[in-house]
Homo-oligomer: A and B are copies of this chain.
Amino acid sequence: MSTCFFCSNLGGEVLYRNNLFRIIAIDEPNYPGYLRIVLNEHTKELSDLTDQDNISIYLAVIKCEKIIRKLFSPEKINLASFGNMTPHVHWHIIPRFIGDLHFPNPTWGEVTNPQYIPSKVVIEAHQTMLNQFNQLFLALA
């Protein structure tokens, strides 16, 4: 387990944490608003979790999606759980904008807009997210 990145690192700035998972703000200049939810325990696949834990983490993904939509008004939300290189359950939640670095490809795909720079509005929304995430998350049913 000591070789697992998410077992030995929080993975970024923790915006919220409970007994099951933590929510991390990803410092990726091209993608303000990028969040990652990381399971605290080392578990490889989502289907290794109980349905109850699985639903808890999934509803947290959806709450993150709602917060991102509220703050960033993105063109689309992208969700993914891969773990080929770090097989420790985690979710990527990424706001996407027309004309962003890879749009309409997934962020793991080919760059389509190499000149892209996130707008000031988006960068400000990211700062708002860092400041207000916890209260916005807890306010969601």
Q: What residues of chain B lie closer than 8 Å to A15, measured between beta carbons?
A: none
Interface contact A76-B87, CB-CB below 8 Å: yes
Interface contact A78-B69, CB-CB below 8 Å: no
State whether the Cβ of A80 lies closer than 8 Å to any Cβ in chain B.
Answer: yes
Q: What residues of chain B lie closer than 8 Å to A118, measured between beta carbons?
A: none
Interface of A is mostly: mixed
Interface contact B105-A84, CB-CB below 8 Å: yes
Interface contact A69-B55, CB-CB below 8 Å: no
State whether the Cβ of A5 lies closer than 8 Å to any Cβ in chain B.
Answer: no
State whether the Cβ of A58 lies closer than 8 Å to any Cβ in chain B.
Answer: yes
> Which residue from chain B places its CB closest to the CB of A105 in the assembled complex?
B108
State whether the Cβ of A79 lies closer than 8 Å to any Cβ in chain B.
Answer: yes
